Amino acid sequence: MTQPIFMVGARGAGKTTVGSELAKALGYKFVDTDLYLLRTSGLSVADIVDREGWEGFRRRETEALKAVCSPLTVIATGGGAVLAQENRDFMREAGTVIYLRSPATTLANRLEDAPQEDQRPTLTGRPITEEMMQVLNEREALYQEAAHHVVDGTQDPARVVNSVMNALALPMA
């Protein structure tokens, strides 16, 4: 299997952490669409949202997904990449999609512990647990729809990488 592997899930799901470890384990390249946008535009997610709104960011994100898509690559996507049907269809067609699933409380704890690693502006300005509950309410079905495999993301990263490797050996959902 040489198709790209797309990591989807909310902020704090471990897309970057688990995705880069997975790439190492498989001998794949690793790319992060947020970092790709930063490298190619010189703008952070926050900058783009400031200048162009979330709509402008989403448009750039769709372009980024397509631009980074190549064989033997693990791709960490932005938490909202699944919002667009176009992105969901594209990822499912072009590669294998893994949803790293964790409850809102787990996501919120991680984001609170390491706020500096999360460079996305909050979507709602509300307390983080509430925000993550709202985000999962809105997106859970979309993550599931996009994913070929849903993986429990609550264990430590090495174990999550193992679960993803096991899932990759299974027939696709």
Contact residues for Mg ion, defined by CB under 5 A: 15-16
Residue number of the CB closest to Mg ion reads: 16
CA distance 16 to 103: 18
Q: What is the DSSP string of 156-173?
A: -HHHHHHHHHHHHTSPP-
Rg, C-alpha atoms of the chain? 15
Q: Does 12 bind ligand ADP (CB under 6 A)?
A: yes
Q: From the list ligand ADP, Mg ion, none, which binds 4 (C-beta under 5 to 8 Å, kind-based)? A: none
| H or E element that contains 98 | strand 96-101
Please tell me whether residue 158 binds ligand ADP under the rule CB under 6 A.
Answer: no
Q: Which residue is nearest to ligand ADP (CB)?
A: 14
Per rule CB under 6 A, count of chain residues that contact ligand ADP: 17
Most distant CA atoms of the chain, gap in Å: 43
Choices 57-65, 82-90, 130-138, 154-162 (CB under 6 A): range interacting with ligand ADP? 154-162
